[in-house]
């Protein structure tokens, strides 16, 4: 008897009887009827039984048939994929057995100097190196490109730097200048924006006039290091084979053995190069350009339409369009170029998302063009659409996730759904063994590789859907994080300070729970041993996805050698906080070493305002009197509207007789502090590369030049992007939503302003200026900007943008901008970091401690950033001196005491500065009107606003 009629009847009968009983409540026998009505309500046992009946019906009618259909579909895809892998294996075997090397397929002759023409017989080659905030690897990649063996007058190195990080951009610029002085033909090119990302940078690079004389272009990403003979091995193929558009080399990974994750990545990529790329090249079919380690014929690149940013795989896009034009490609398997694999799981996720989403999106956009193309054979069209795109870029990802992570585990819950052994075991085993051919030295890791690939399958499946449907993060481009020299342990936080929701990937976690449930269910109720696979499989979804092991390191233990330099106190960073700390310790008789990665003091920048708390610190370290003679004392402040009308004015002495305010040039302050230190205290060109603590509590610092310092105490004063803070687990400072133009106007005949701070408030825009000395005036313009935007360093553009913002404001401000020397103008984003109690790490870790912006970066709205750094320095110096000289506290306890004391002051100031800035940057006309007509003229009091400048500085006892 069918269960369907029962399914339709039982809810009707149940609720009919219940409502019929309720209708009897109004009769003469009300109480009896009401009781009967409740007796007719189904019991819990009835409900459970009926739910079970529903489940059995849905299971039999819907779920089982659906899963059986999906199994058949996956079996078909498995066979298709197996045939594809077998085909590629046969082609590679044929190439190996018959030694079908590229030199036998294409004409190739070595390059030699012509007796009459000399180097003129060599074609002109352009080498492009696109970069984006990759300071860890830029030096080695530029050096490798500059060392390529090719006549110096026939090669042009073009560094395309889209960096938004000023330090990265400056480092790249300096490296280019260094090689230019050595006679290398190298150019440093930047853009005003990042439109098109890498494709946009390469496209803009091809527009320069000097590119017109070039015949070929070699492209290397920022972490690639070609051997000197790279061009000698590739360019001859292009010279002697006019239909050849591209010669592609193979990636070799310098950090492949760094950890398990990099070993498994190497296995996948080795299969891609050894099998997939070689098959495409050897069969005269098609293979995708890898975006780097290749040489293009410029005429072919231009004929194909140049670089296009319609997808995030601009390299594959160009290869498809060139193929449709009839061009051929060559892959050389033994032409290896050193590169780097992602070492963090986040970087790997971003990379895999782009590598999966991009090809799927390109397939969606180019499939019709491939079909309609008249310049390629039917065989090549079939290969591109079926083998390259459909099987490798779509079916492979669907099959891995749907079959091995969803359907196969579901057979435990649905015994009616069976998967043949050949499909569940034999076929995938053969496919895995064939893939292992790409890297035989890692064949013992096959089991881990299978689990790793399955654990990555959901990410790829999601990316695939986004690409095919062209939705979500389809255009997301995240540059893969590089770590540089992988022979050294890099500066990576031991406990990443990342929000919990950012570390846990919910969908992957649910898949892990599903696999775990299926494995346990199979143990309890199953009749096979699939639980062995399921339990091991589920385990791989938890530690990876929750982020408990986000980074792999080459070394996990500090090893010291006799060559390590031992130092008692090492200060990282020669900024205001670092130098003040060093001077304070020096006054207390404690020697320190200051590490500064720049070649000299960073005297760039403009000015900073110091209130009485800052001057008390400077007096305590005996530099206050020297500085006072150089800078004007500010008497008060004036607040104006954007039309120049005065809203309110104050005098500082009227509010607080002890108040002292002066604007100080940053350059002069740093030079004055440095002059108080013994010679050789500051070590320039000392870039910190890695930091680790050993069992004794000492800290090993690895510098960029190979020097190793073993320090008893490390003080991190290296600014908002502190590497020491990163190692301690602090998050990156957050952008607060507005930027600031800053400059230092210079009046050679004397500046005309009164000694007052002038503030001008507009709608979402504010500006100010303050006299610094008799000839200099500091000014700023703060404006709202939702995102950071491109980094701009051209002074002319900066001045133009600044003047456009305040074009209708008082002329004094316009004149100040015009009189600002180019080297003093800048535009910077404002950032801060809130030190949430119980969430943010403490200021110290062992015998490593932070000072100033490295610990508590704050916005400049209260003028307390530099003052707080100065306060930190003297408080820490006093506590450390007491501990070092035999006080009651240990060094660790002294640092903890410093952190506790300073947190109660720095944290509220950080929050207050942020809120003040947010209020002043309001754009709402009504709010601005209330501010200008009520709050400032009637309610504002200067006294409470300056209470934060009250700081009692403990005296330092100068050593003799």
Catalytic residues: 162, 315
Tell me whether residue 278 is exposed, middle or buried, using C-beta atoms within 10 angstroms of its C-beta: 0 to 12, 13 to 18, 19 or more: buried
Q: How far is CA 940 from the centre of its chain?
A: 43
What backbone torsions phi and psi does residue 219 show, to the nearest 5 degrees? -125, 130
* Contact by Cβ (8 Å): 467, 356: yes
* CA–CA dist 512, 445 (Å, integer): 22
> No. of H helices and E strands in the chain?
35, 24
> How many of the other CB atoms lie within 10 Å of CB of 107?
12
137: CB partners within 8 A, 6+ apart: 222, 223, 340, 482, 483, 484
CA–CA separation, 341 and 344 (whole Å): 9
Distance CA 898, CA 954 (A): 13
Q: What share of the chain is helix, strand, coil (3-state, %, to 5)?
A: 50, 15, 35
* CA within 13 Å, CB half, 462: 13
Q: Which of 483, 519, 549 is nearest to 341 (CA)?
A: 483
Q: List all residues 6 or more positions away from 781 whose beta carbon is below 8 Å from its beta carbon.
A: 740, 741, 765, 766, 767, 802, 805, 806, 813
H helix or E strand, kind and range, residue 356: helix 345-372
Q: Where are the alpha helices (DSSP H) in 227-292?
A: 230-240, 260-271, 278-282
**DSSP class of 242:** T
Contact call for residues 751 and 776 (beta carbons, < 8 A): yes
C-alpha–C-alpha distance, residues 333 and 437, integer Å: 14
Radius of gyration of the chain (CA): 34
d(Cα 721, Cα 840) in Å, to the nearest integer? Answer: 16
Q: What are the Cα distances from residue 448, in Å, to 265, 374, 454, 547, 729?
A: 11, 45, 10, 18, 30
A 10 A CB-CB count for 128 gives 23
Q: How far is CA 390 from the centre of its chain?
A: 31
- HSE-CB of 465 using CA atoms within 13 angstroms: 9
Q: Alpha helix locations (H) across 109-229?
A: 138-146, 166-181, 197-205
Phi, psi of 294 (to 5 degrees): -145, 160
Instruction: Extract the tokens encoding 83.
Output: 């045939």
DSSP state of 394: I
Residue 190: how many CB atoms within 10 A of its CB? Answer: 19
Task: Give the containing element (helix H, strand E) for 435.
Answer: helix 427-436
Put residue 719 in one of left, alpha, beta given phi > 0 → left and psi -120 to 50 → alpha.
left
Spell out the residues 6+ positions from residue 804 whose beta carbon is closer than 8 angstroms to its own. Answer: none
Strand-strand pairing, 776-784 and 765-771: antiparallel
For residues 715 and 580, is the Cβ–Cβ distance under 8 A? no
Q: Is 832 helix (H, G, I), strand (E, B) or coil?
A: strand
Q: How far is CA 386 from CA 373, 678, 795, in A?
A: 16, 72, 53
**Cβ atoms of 554 and 486 closer than 8 Å:** yes
């Amino acid at each position: 008897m069918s269960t369907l009629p029962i399914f339709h009847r039982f809810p009707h009968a149940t609720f009919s009887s219940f409502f019929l009983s309720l209708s009897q409540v109004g009769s003469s026998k009300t109480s009896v009827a009401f009781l009967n009505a409740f007796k007719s309500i189904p019991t819990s046992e009835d409900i459970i039984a009926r739910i079970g009946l529903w489940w059995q019906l849905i299971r039999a009618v819907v779920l089982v048939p659906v899963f059986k259909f999906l199994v058949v579909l996956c079996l078909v895809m498995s066979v298709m994929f197996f045939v594809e892998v077998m085909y590629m294996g046969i082609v590679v075997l044929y190439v190996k057995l018959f030694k079908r090397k590229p030199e036998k397929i294409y004409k190739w002759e070595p390059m030699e100097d012509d007796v009459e023409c000399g180097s003129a017989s060599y074609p002109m080659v352009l080498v492009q190196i696109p970069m984006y905030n990759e300071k860890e690897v830029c030096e080695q990649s530029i050096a490798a490109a500059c060392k390529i063996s090719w006549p110096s007058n026939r090669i042009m190195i073009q560094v395309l730097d889209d960096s938004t990080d000023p330090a990265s951009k400056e480092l790249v610029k300096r490296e280019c200048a260094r090689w230019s002085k050595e006679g290398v033909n190298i150019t440093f090119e930047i853009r005003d924006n990042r439109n098109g990302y890498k494709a946009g940078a390469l496209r803009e690079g091809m527009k320069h006039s000097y590119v017109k004389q070039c015949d070929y272009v070699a492209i290397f990403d920022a972490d690639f290091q070609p051997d000197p003979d790279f061009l000698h091995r590739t360019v001859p193929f292009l010279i002697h084979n006019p239909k050849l558009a591209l010669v592609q080399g193979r990636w070799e990974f310098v950090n492949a053995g760094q950890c398990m994750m990099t070993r498994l990545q190497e296995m996948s990529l080795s299969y891609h190069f050894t099998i997939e790329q070689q098959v495409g090249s050897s069969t005269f079919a098609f293979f995708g350009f890898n975006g780097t380690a290749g040489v293009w014929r410029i005429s072919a690149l231009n004929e194909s339409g140049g670089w296009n940013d319609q997808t995030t795989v601009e390299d594959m896009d160009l290869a498809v369009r060139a193929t449709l034009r009839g061009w051929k490609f060559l892959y050389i398997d033994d032409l290896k170029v050193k590169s780097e694999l992602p070492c963090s799981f986040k970087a790997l996720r971003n990379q895999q998302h782009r590598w999966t989403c991009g090809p799927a999106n390109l397939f969606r956009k180019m499939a019709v063009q491939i079909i309609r193309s008249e310049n390629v054979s039917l065989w090549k069209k079939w290969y591109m659409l079926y083998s390259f795109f459909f099987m490798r870029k779509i079916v492979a990802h669907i099959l891995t996730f749907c079959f091995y992570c969803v359907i196969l585990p579901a057979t435990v819950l649905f015994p009616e759904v069976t998967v043949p052994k050949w499909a569940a075991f034999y076929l995938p085993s053969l496919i895995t063994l064939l893939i292992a051919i790409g890297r035989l030295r890692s064949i013992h890791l096959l089991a881990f590789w299978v689990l790793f690939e399955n654990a990555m399958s959901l990410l790829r499946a999601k990316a695939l859907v986004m690409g095919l449907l062209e939705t979500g993060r389809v255009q997301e481009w995240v540059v893969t994080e590089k770590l540089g020299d992988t022979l050294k342990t890099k500066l990576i936080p031991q406990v990443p300070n990342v929000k919990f929701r950012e570390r846990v990937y919910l969908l992957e976690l649910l898949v892990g729970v599903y696999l775990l449930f299926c494995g346990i269910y199979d143990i309890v109720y199953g009749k096979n041993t699939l639980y062995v696979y399921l339990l091991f499989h589920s385990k791989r979804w938890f530690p990876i996805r929750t982020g408990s092991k986000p980074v792999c390191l080459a070394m996990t233990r500090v090893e010291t050698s006799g060559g390590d330099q031992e130092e008692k106190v090492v200060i990282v960073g020669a900024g205001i906080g670092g130098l003040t700390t060093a001077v304070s310790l020096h006054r207390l008789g404690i020697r320190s070493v200051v590490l500064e990665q720049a070649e000299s003091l960073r005297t760039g920048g403009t000015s900073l305002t110091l209130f009485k708390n800052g001057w008390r610190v400077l007096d305590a370290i005996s530099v206050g009197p020297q500085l006072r003679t150089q800078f004007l004392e500010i008497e008060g402040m004036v607040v104006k509207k954007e039309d120049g009308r005065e809203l309110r004015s104050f005098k500082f002495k009227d509010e607080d007789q002890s108040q002292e305010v002066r604007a100080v040039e940053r350059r002069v302050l740093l030079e004055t502090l440095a002059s108080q230190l013994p010679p050789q205290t500051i070590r320039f060109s000392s870039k910190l590369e890695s930091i680790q603590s050993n069992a004794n509590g000492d800290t090993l610092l690895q510098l960029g030049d190979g020097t190793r310092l073993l320090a008893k105490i490390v003080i991190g004063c290296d600014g908002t992007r502190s590497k020491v803070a990163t190692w301690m687990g602090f998050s990156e400072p957050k952008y607060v939503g507005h930027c600031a133009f800053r400059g230092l106007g210079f009046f050679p005949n004397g500046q005309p302003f009164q000694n007052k701070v002038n503030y001008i408030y507009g709608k979402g825009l504010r500006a100010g200026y303050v006299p610094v000395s008799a000839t200099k005036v500091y000014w700023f313009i703060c404006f709202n900007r939702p995102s950071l935007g491109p980094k701009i360093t051209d002074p002319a553009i900066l001045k133009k943008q600044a003047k456009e913002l305040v074009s209708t404001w008082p002329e004094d401000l316009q004149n100040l901008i015009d009189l600002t020397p180019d080297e003093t103008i800048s535009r910077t984003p404002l950032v801060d970091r809130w030190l949430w109690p119980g969430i943010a790490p403490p200021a110290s870790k062992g015998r490593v401690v932070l000072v100033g912006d490295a610990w508590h970066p704050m916005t400049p709205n209260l003028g307390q950033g530099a003052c707080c750094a100065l306060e930190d320095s003297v408080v820490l110096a006093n506590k450390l001196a007491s501990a070092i000289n035999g006080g009651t506290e240990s060094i660790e306890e002294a640092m903890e005491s410093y952190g506790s004391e300073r947190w109660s002051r720095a944290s509220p100031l950080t929050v207050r500065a942020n809120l003040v800035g947010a209020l002043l940057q309001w754009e709402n006309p009504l709010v601005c009107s209330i501010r200008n007509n009520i709050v400032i003229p009637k309610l504002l009091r200067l006294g409470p606003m300056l209470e934060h400048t009250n700081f009692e500085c403990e005296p330092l006892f100068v050593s003799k």
